[in-house]
């Protein structure tokens, strides 16, 4: 199914207000104002949303920064797209069900879903806009990320995952790229249910044995075909924290098949071997998160 957004009419330079002819300019491409030489991106329209910028692209949709022209606020809009009609119906049903469930959650560490809609046969989801970097940027610090800040991130994400689990939802693709920050640098988990949708896409393409999740962080029981649990999400969070704190994922290989094989044939390395200067409690917690058999423990401190 083709992705459809409309050209806007009457575009003006955001700097000097001069009218610019964009009739031959592809939406979301750059244009230079002849009057002031200011370079800007030409927006597009989708339903009552002024689409300003593409934030991400997946197998089943696109995510944009957009302005809600009715409420006059900026949001993130995910527009669902699939080529195969049968798969499209399955994906739409799954994503909409997941979005409705997420809309009922009210947790500071889970992205807020504002609304659902459909325009020109394409379902869309309206979410809060998170403009700060994702936690993936922290994996590029060469293993020098601040320990306390990373632990705060992990605690927040774990709390969000726990509330989702208590509402009957698993994430199944926890990774640094799915942890975004708001303007106050509060971590928020995005893309619940993405792994299941990618499985549907894989099934439609004849890839029936697709494993849900990202190979660098996926839990070993998921690799072997067992039913994922809350502990599987905790494992993936542990792998993400390991990557952020060391600058490398727990398992590495020449290809993803080798990475997955290592995960099911041997234990994860101790994070203390790569960053021995970490607090022993930090090392213990992350090592337990990445253990083949995970025990979820609630620790209480008494004074």
Annotate 229-240 with DSSP letters as a single string.
Answer: -HHHHHHHHHHH
Q: What is the pLDDT of residues 136-184, one digit of tens each?
A: 999 998 888 999 999 999 999 999 999 999 988 889 899 999 999 999 9
Strand partners, 78: 63, 125
Residue 177 is given by DSSP the state G
pTM here is 0.85
Instruction: Indicate which CATH number applies to the domain containing 276.
Output: 1.10.510.10
Number of domains the chain contains: 1
- Tell me which H or E stretch contains 196: helix 194-204
CA distance from start to end of the chain: 61
Q: Nearest-CA neighbor of 73 among 97, 91, 52? A: 52
Catalytic residue (choose from 21, 72, 152, 173)? 173
Share of the chain above pLDDT 90, in %: 59
Q: Nearest-CA neighbor of 60 among 125, 107, 112, 11? A: 125
Please state the φ and ψ torsions of residue 51, each to the nearest 5 degrees: -80, 125
Q: Is 201 within a domain?
A: yes
Question: What Rg, from alpha-carbon coordinates, does the chain have?
Answer: 21
Q: Is 231 within a domain?
A: yes
Strand partners, 67: 50, 74
Q: Parallel, antiparallel, or unpaired for β 122-127 and 187-189?
A: unpaired
Q: Is 227 within a domain?
A: yes
| Residue 173 known to be catalytic | yes
Q: Is 45 within a domain?
A: no
Token couple for 140: 């590029």
Range of the domain at 220: 135-289
Q: What is the pLDDT of residues 243-279, one digit of tens each?
A: 999 999 999 988 888 999 999 898 999 999 999 999 9
Q: Is 232 within a domain?
A: yes
């Amino acid at each position: 199914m083709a992705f459809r957004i409309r050209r806007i009419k009457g575009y003006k330079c955001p700097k000097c207000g001069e009218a610019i002819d964009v009739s031959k300019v592809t939406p979301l491409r750059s244009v230079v104002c002849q009057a002031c030489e200011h370079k800007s991106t030409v927006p597009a329209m989708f339903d009552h949303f002024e689409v300003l910028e593409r934030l991400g692209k997946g197998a089943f949709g696109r995510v944009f920064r957009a302005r809600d022209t009715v409420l006059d606020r900026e949001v993130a809009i995910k527009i669902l797209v699939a080529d195969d009609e049968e798969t499209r119906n399955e994906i739409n049903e799954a994503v909409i069900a997941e979005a409705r469930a997420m809309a009922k959650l009210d947790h500071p560490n889970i992205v807020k879903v504002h609304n659902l809609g459909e325009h020109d046969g394409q379902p869309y989801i309206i979410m809060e806009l998170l403009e700060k970097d994702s936690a993936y940027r922290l994996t590029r610090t060469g293993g020098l990320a601040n320990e306390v800040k990373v632990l705060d991130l992990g605690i927040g994400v774990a709390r969000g995952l726990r509330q989702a689990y208590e509402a009957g939802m698993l994430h199944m693709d926890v990774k640094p790229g799915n942890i975004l920050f708001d303007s106050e640098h509060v971590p928020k988990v995005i893309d619940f249910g993405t792994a299941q949708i990618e499985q549907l896409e894989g099934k439609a393409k004849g890839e029936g044995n697709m494993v849900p999740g990202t190979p660098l962080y996926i839990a070993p029981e998921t690799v072997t075909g067992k039913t994922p649990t809350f502990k599987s999400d905790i494992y993936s969070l542990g792998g993400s924290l390991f990557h952020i704190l060391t600058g490398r994922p727990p398992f590495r290989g020449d290809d993803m098949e080798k990475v997955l094989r290592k995960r099911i044939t041997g234990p994860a390395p101790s994070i203390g071997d790569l960053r021995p200067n970490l607090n022993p409690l930090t090392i213990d917690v992350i090592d337990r998160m990445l253990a083949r058999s995970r025990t979820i423990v609630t620790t209480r401190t008494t004074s």
